[in-house]
Structure 1
Amino acid sequence: MKLNELSDNPGARKARMRVGRGIGSGKGKTAGRGVKGQTSRSGVAIKGFEGGQMPIHRRLPKRGFNKPNAKEFAELTLGKLEAAVAAGKVKAGETLTEDLLVERGVVRRKLDGIRLLAKGELNTRLSIEVTGATRNAVAAVEKAGGSIKTAAPAQEASA
C-alpha cells in the first residue's frame, strides 16, 4: 500500500450540500430558505427576536452572579478512590498527592486543586494530601484508619 492509495471508508465523508445550483440538485431556486420574508434575505440576525414583542430573555429578571475568578476543583469521591485501590492504581498505606493521583489516572487533571467528596465508602487505610475535603470525607478517611492533609480547612460541600 502506498500513500497515494490511502482512502477513507465509503460513505465516511459526506460532501456538503451545495445550495442554489439548479432545480435538479434538490436545493435549487430558493436554496431551502422558503419564499420571501426577512429570513429569505441575506444579512439577517434574529436569534432572540419575537416579532417586536419583548423577547423572553429580556422579560425575565436577572438572577445570581458568576464569579469570574472562581476556583474550579477536580472532584474526587471516596468511592472512586476505593475503586482505584481495587484496580491496583493505588496501594493501601501509601501517601497520595495530587500529582500522584493525576499520574496514576485516578483524576484526569487537577485544575485549581483536588477536592475530596464523601460519596461512596472508603475501607482502605490511605494517607491523602489534597487542596480541600468535606467534613464527612475527612471523617470517613480517619474512620478507615488513614490521614488527610488539606490546604484549606474542611468545609461542607455546597451543592
Structure 2
Amino acid sequence: MPLQRRLPKGGFKNPFRIEYSVVNLDRLLESFPKSESISLEEIYSAGFGKKGMPVKILARGSVSTSVRVEAHKFSKQAIEKITQAGGQAIAMEGEQSAADNE
C-alpha cells in the first residue's frame, strides 16, 4: 500500500484561535432588567461564561433603555443597538472601544 494511504489523515487546528462565550442582548437584558450598567463580573456571575474566558455580545433582541455594557468584544449590530438606545458598549482589554459614537 502506498505511503500516503498508510499515514493517518489529520486536519488543521489553529493554535491562535480565541474561543468566546457568546451572549445575546435579549438574554443579557432579561437577566439584568433594571440595571444601568452591566459589568464583566456580573456577566460571569450570571453564568453566561466561565471566568477568564472572553465574552462577545451579539445583537439578537432589542434594547429599549440606556445601558452600559462591558465585554471583550461586540458585534457591529449590537454596538448600534446599544448606542441608539443611549447606552455605551465598552470593549475590554485593548479592543477598540465602541463607546459614545456621538
Same fold? TM cut 0.5: yes
8 Å Cα contact 1:81/1:122 also seen in 2 = no
> 2:32·2:38 contact (CA, 8 Å) conserved in 1?
no
Q: Does 1:99 align with 2:46?
A: no
Q: Answer with 1 or 2: which has the greater Rg.
A: 1
Q: Structure 2 CA distance, aligned partners of 1:124 and 1:106?
A: 23
Q: Does 1:122 align with 2:69?
A: no
Preserved contact between residue 98 and residue 129 of structure 1 (Cα < 8 Å): yes
5+ unaligned residues in a row in structure 1: which ranges? Answer: 1-53, 155-159
SS at match of 1:120: coil
C-alpha deviation, 1:69, in angstroms: 3.5
Pair 110,117 (structure 1): closer, same or farther in 2 beyond 3 Å: farther
AA matched with 1:127: R
Name the % identity. Answer: 18
Aligned CA-pair RMSD: 2.4
DSSP 3-state at the match of 1:80:
helix
TM-score, normalised via structure 1 length? 0.48
4+ residue stretches of structure 1 with deviation over 4 A?
none
**Number of matched residues?**
90
TM-score normalized by the length of structure 2 = 0.70
The 1-side partners of 2:73 and 2:51 are apart by: 12
Unpaired runs of at least 5, structure 2: 98-102
Contact 1:71-1:112 at 8 Å conserved across structures: no
1:81 deviation in Å?
A: 1.5
Larger % of strand: which?
A: 2
CA distance in 2, matches of 1:68, 1:99: 27
1:111 positional shift: 4.3
Cα distance in 2 for residues equivalent to 1:77 and 1:69: 25
Q: Secondary structure at the match of 2:96?
A: coil
**1:149 maps to 2:87:** no
Q: Which residue of 2 aligns with 1:131?
A: 72
SS of the equivalent of 1:125 reads coil
Question: Structure 1 residues 134, 96: CA separation in 2 closer, same or farther (over 3 Å shift)?
Answer: same
How many angstroms apart in 1 are the aligned matches of 2:40 and 2:51? 7
Q: Is the 8 A contact 2:49 2:55 kept in 1?
A: no
Residue 92 of structure 1 contacts residue 125 of structure 1 at CA under 8 Å; is this kept in 2?
no
